[in-house]
Structure 1
Amino acid sequence: MSWYQEFERWNTFTSLDPTLRKELELLQQDEQSLEDAYYKNLEFGTGGMRGKLGPGTNRMNIYTIRRAAEGLASYVESLSGQSKGVVIAYDSRYMSKEFSVEAAKVLGRHGILTYVFSSLRPTPELSFAVRHLGATAGVVVTASHNPPQYNGFKAYNADGGQLPLEEAATVIDMVNQVENELEVEVGDQAELEASGLLKWIDSEVDQTYLEKLKEVNVNPELSQFASDLSVVFTPLHGTAQMLVEKGLQQMGITNLHTVEEQAIPDPEFSTVASPNPEEHQAFELAIEKGKQLGSDVLIATDPDADRLGIAVPNTTGDYQVLTGNQTGALLLDYLLSQSEHVPENGIVIKTIVTSEFGRVIADHYGVSSLDTLTGFKFIGEKIKEYEETKEHTFLFGYEESYGYLVKDFARDKDAVQATVLAAEVAAYWKSKGKTLLEALEDLYKKHGYFLEDLQSLTMEGKTGSEKIEKIMNDFRQNPLSKAGGLEVIAVEDYTTSQRKKKDGTLETIQLPKANVLKFILENDSWFCLRPSGTEPKIKFYYGVKTNSGEESRRLLDSVKQSVNEQINESV
């Protein structure tokens, strides 16, 4: 059907939700926006689906949620997992609880037991709950750190990880087989509750998770110095407050100060331009409070609490927000240096766009490291593989986009775990008379000055998708031979699983196929292009290494300039 025929199908549907009906009437006044709402189905990809709220096949609403849940129900039935059930959690966004109930009503219509948290909970607790309750699958209704007009639906398997590629392909196929989202049947909420097919969960899972959280701390002397640490915490209007506060308190942090204005769940995220700890402006209120109190570390989590950002005092009397790579390096070095016993087969897992700093630190301690594709589901998949084969013991997993996992009782990035460990690291270094920034500088002096950056271009709608494709095609067909004065020594194209070296020889990349290009430069530098799987963006990642911070900054700017020149020619 054409987009207009899809619109007509909705417009003539007599039982359309009244709120969506009113929104649809307004939408008809803007033909371009109307087309964008109907020109395709909101894609259910390997990371689930995410999009703007509103009427339309390309929007998040009760009908596209029902379509996704119907596909998930078919997946659960294919595994005979109805009695083990599905766990659903949700964040503070508009319609999150309503979408969770709609999903539960679809699943219940199929006779599938569904556990739903009675109030908002972090994504990592959903991952834990799937494993704890022995469920067949899980769902988180969240759009993570996207703007307020977005929401999403992320699916998890029985291991508590985001669906790996093969399972995701099965679910995607089942979702795509749902021909008419308007006609998906749902059960009655009251009847499902009475029959026991819809169960509300909360404190029992919370308490079990908090007990497991104690395993994150590694230093037996922690209680001697934790109470001296002053921490400012902000959940950025999201889900993390209860678990983070209790987690820090049970490890001995008594000087804890939550940013009150941002402790209130708020779908508008009204105190920040973006509820993303990767963005420095998200720390403005925390920095203000930190300066008043003279705090040692500021901690921010994103709305669904799977990403952690930290800021620390610098020499100018201000606070510096660390990058995800810098935080990862500090956490990893502390874990490996302070653990009483590091298994001989221990392994650190990171992604292909995460700094090489972590690999060098792991090498220093005689620990193996492994790269996966971008996306924590690939790290979770490897954890499960090593758990079964015993080939390696998982020690730490992380990605540059502020996602960390310390203990594998969850199988997705876990900002609650990362907060507890980050507080321990800060307390430890304070007991040694150092700030986290000084500890980081020591790591640079020891291993080299690694510096990274990320650029994102947002290109929404149909024309945006076409521009992103054009940029990727141009870099494939006209690859740079130099960037920032550095020779390109290899180009990795993950769509073909091939690494082409400067001399023309080809090597096979032993990772799943993905629309990613990575250019390997001389002197341990690189850059990478990757269209986002969950947002209308194309991302450009950069990494360099020299013998000084100033030199690394100059080189990074030069590499970025070379790449940006080709981007501008492409579009």
Structure 2
Amino acid sequence: MSGSDLDTSALLEQVKQATVDGKITASAADNIEIWLTEARYARYADQVAEHITSGKWKELDDAFWTIIPFGTGGRRGKMYPIGSNAINERTIGESAQGLAEYVKATVSGDLSCAIAYDTRHRSREFAELCARIMVSNGFTVYFLDDYRSTPELSFLVRYKKCSCGIMVTASHNPPSDNAVKVYWSTGGQVMPPHDAKIIDNVMNVQEIPLGVEFDAAVSENKVVLCTQETDDAFVSAVSQQKFDGPRNVKILYSPLHGVGASAVLPVLAADNFKDVALFGPHAEQSGDFPNVPGHVSNPENPAVFDIIIDQAKKDDSELILATDPDSDRLGCAAPRSMDTTGEWGTFTGNQIAVLLADHVLSERKKGGGLTADHYVVKTLVTTEMVRRIAESYGVRTCGNLQVGFKYIGGTMDEEGPDKFLFGCEESHGYLVGQYARDKDASVAAMLLAELAANCKKEGKSLHEKLESLWWQHGYHAERLLNQKMPGSEGMANMQKLMGKFRAEPPASVGGLKLVQVRDYLNDTITTADGQTSKLNGPKGNMVILDLEDDNYVAVRPSGTEPKVKFYMFSYVPAEQLSLMNAAQEEMEARLDAFENDLKAFAESV
């Protein structure tokens, strides 16, 4: 049956009845009607009709209950051939076309777009689709013709002075997902006011022009394949961030089935690290992520490192580095002592941030290049230990930022990149240097390898180095709790929960009294006794509960996944530390108490 032969009225009656019967939500029914009746969705009408006649109501509700949004990094979600709430040809095409229309209306002169993609299913297909759309809109496309990292795409936008960029990746999401990340001419992900205006364009796209085939566009030089040239320039730019020192450390590296070997390995080689092995079970570039727990290649998950640590112990490796599928996040594991056959431990994103911050600032101080004008950048949910380290070196911290590395990149341009030292976020994202405006696992891997070699020369492990920083700056322990709230009902519950934190926050969390609530959506500070003042913070849907003794909890709905995130922070000042083990046990118990209270509060909605 073709679109013209469909009995649309009968199909809509079935949809209406399914809504009455509670098989689909009213919002799904509305979006299904749009895809059945509007000309711009005509090519998908047969598939929608087949789902209706086959009674695939669960699939329809999942695919249509909302319109997939732009989050902190772009448009991300589960792939499905049809649906406004899925990643498919239409939603990817709308994203590219909406970007093209906005750039054409905003930017004068020759237009160009950088495009790259990772190892996920359909990434190459979606990248070619985006390239065809951009060329059809009059753009020259600079295309990385193989699996490459997100930071290399950010670099390419700047390197070729592009008007914008598109990265096809869903980062560390499950294999079912894909996404597009949209970049501005700065090489950073789109910021206000561009983001809201691009979204408006995306949501109002009618026709998606595909006037040229990909291979023809390459032949006509409208799509410029520039992979090797960009690789060489990128590795050169990253390796310029290196510091002098020993390189005698044995490294085992895992790309977790992603693109990282194209970036991390050449960068380590350029910094003269010679004893680097690729972890075989994770070397295959596969969108199925076959050899990682739950098929989710996330270096934030300590369980990812279990089999790598087993191998490291066998071959006397001294450092494990792992990157997520698009190689913008870095994870790390190391022996707890100098005994590589003994106990190993992973590091949180905050702990890696602390180690890298101290390494960069220490090395820069040796060179005599630090001034009070220099600065580090972090987000509001990244450990305050970074700020305390920066203060000890006499440099400032820009830390009043919402979640998303785009705000770190934006701050670099606002403050001036020449004085930028280091940017970090708790979700394992780091940047040093001016060559990009997004987090980069390759530069973080290089610098962490340098630090590990320095520590080895001093006869200490990375864990012992971290402990020495705690003694100096106080013990900081952080934890992230993800409260999943899937589906249309979950979205409503997320909104209810955020409203409850604002209107009726808990009087205490984990036995610590509430001091004040910082509401970044309404720009208010409300004390425990109800007094209200202006916050003057960055706008965003986040609440921070300030508790006694510099402990606090940040609460925000994820910008890319159906869940609420609780960021928990505990702290013992350096002057109050006597026994490190005791402090660690006490703070773990405190975080456990935080977690229990927050779960109970969320479940009460």
Query: What CA distance in whole angstroms lies between the structure 2 residues aligned with 1:487 and 1:556?
Result: 14
Give the Å deviation of 1:75.
1.7
Q: Give the counterpart letter for 2:379 in structure 1.
A: T
| 1:514-571 alpha-carbon deviations (Å, 9 max, x no partner) | 111100111110001110111111111100012321221122222222222211212x
**Structure 1 residue 284, shift from structure 2 partner:** 2.4
Unaligned runs of at least 5 residues, structure 2: 1-28, 578-582
Question: Structure 1: how far apart are the matches of 2:500 and 2:41?
Answer: 44
Q: Deviations over 1:333-374 (max 9, x none)?
A: 111112212132111111111111111111111111121111
Equivalent residue runs for 1:361-400 within 5 Å: 361-371=389-399, 372-387=401-416, 393-400=419-426
- One-letter code of the match for 1:298? I
- What residue number does 1:566 align with? 601
After superposition, where does 1:354-503 map in structure 2 within 5 Å?
354-371=382-399, 372-387=401-416, 393-503=419-529
Query: Which residue pairs with 2:262 in the alignment?
Result: 242
Tell me, in whole angstroms, the C-alpha distance in 2 between the residues paired with 1:304 and 1:189: 23
Other structure's SS at 1:2 match? helix
Alpha-carbon separation, structure 2, partners of 1:202 and 1:76: 24
Indicate whether 1:330 and 2:355 are aligned.
Answer: yes
Q: Greater CA deviation, 457-466 or 526-535?
A: 457-466
Residues 82 and 112, structure 1, Cα contact 8 Å, conserved in 2: no
Point out the structure with max Rg over C-alpha.
2
Equivalent residue for 1:317, pick from 326, 338, 342: 342
Q: Return the offset for 1:127.
A: 0.5
Question: How much does 1:191 deviate?
Answer: 3.3
Separation in 1, partners of 2:314, 2:38:
54
Judge conservation of contact 1:46–1:163 (CA < 8 Å) in 2: no
**Counterparts of residues 67-106 of structure 1 (less than 5 Å):** 67-80=94-107, 83-106=110-133
User: Is the 8 Å Cα contact of residues 515 and 547 (structure 2) preserved in structure 1?
Assistant: yes
Letter paired with 1:373: Q
Distance 1:394 1:292 in 2: 40
Please point out which of 119, 122, 135 is paired with 2:162: 135
Deviation, structure 1 residue 32: 2.0
Q: Does 1:514 align with 2:534?
A: no
Whole-angstrom CA distance in 1 between matches of 2:374 and 2:554: 28
| Cα distance change, pair 26–266 in 1 and its aligned pair in 2 (3 A) | farther
TM-score when normalising by structure 1:
0.93
Q: CA deviation at 1:140?
A: 0.4
Native 8 Å contact 1:275 1:303 kept in 2: yes
Task: Work out whether 1:209 is the aligned partner of 2:231.
Answer: no
Paired position in structure 2 for 1:229: 249
Residue 15 of structure 1: how far off its partner (Å): 4.1
> Structure 1: which 5+ runs fail to align?
none
The match for 1:294 among 297, 313, 316 is 316
Structure 2 contact 260–326 (Cα < 8 Å) conserved: yes
Q: Distance between the aligned counterparts of 1:12 and 1:412, measured in 2?
A: 34
What secondary structure, in the 3-state scheme, does the structure 2 residue paired with 1:138 have?
strand
In structure 1, the residue matched to 2:329 is 307
Q: Alignment length, in residue pairs?
A: 558
* Secondary structure, counterpart of 2:263 in structure 1: helix
C-alpha distance in structure 2 between counterparts of 1:540 and 1:112, whole Å: 42
Matching residue within 34, 37, 48 for 2:63: 37
Contact 1:454 1:540 in 2 (8 A): yes
Give the 3 Å change call, closer, same or farther, for CA 474–14 of structure 1 in structure 2: closer
**Matched residues in 1 for 2:327 and 2:336: separation?**
26
Does structure 2 conserve the Cα–Cα contact (< 8 Å) formed by 1:102 and 1:186? Answer: no
How far apart, CA to CA, are the structure 2 residues paired with 1:166 and 1:22?
35
Distance in 2, matches of 1:27 and 1:423, equals 58
Q: Amino acid of the residue matched to residue 307 of structure 1?
A: R
Equivalent-residue separation in structure 2 for 1:152 and 1:82 (angstroms): 29
Counterpart of 2:178 in structure 1: which amino acid?
N
Q: Distance in 2 between matches of 1:193 and 1:206?
A: 19
| 1:511, distance to aligned residue in structure 2 (A) | 3.1
Structure 1 325/514 Cα, relative in aligned 2: closer, same or farther at 3 Å? same
Quick one: which amino acid aligns to residue 385 of structure 1?
A: E
- Structure 1 residues 325 and 151: CA distance shift in structure 2, 3 A: same
| Alignment partners' CA distance in 1, 2:481 and 2:85 | 26
Contact 1:232–1:299 under 8 Å retained in 2: yes
Q: Please list the CA deviations of residues 465-486 of structure 1 after superposition, one character each: whole Å capped at 9, or x if unmatched.
A: 1121121122222111211221
Q: How far has the Cα of 1:94 moved from its partner?
A: 0.6
Confirm whether residue 262 of structure 1 aligns to residue 282 of structure 2: yes
Check if 1:168 corresponds to 2:174: no
User: Is the contact made by 1:344 and 1:367 (CA closer than 8 Å) also made in structure 2?
Assistant: yes
- Distance, in Å, in 2 between the alignment partners of 1:53 and 1:479 is 37
Question: Displacement of 1:165 after TM fit?
Answer: 2.1
Q: Percent identity at matched positions? A: 35
Q: What do the CA deviations read for 1:1-25 (whole angstroms, capped 9, x no partner)?
A: 71331453499966449xx949965
Which residue does the alignment assign to 1:551? 586
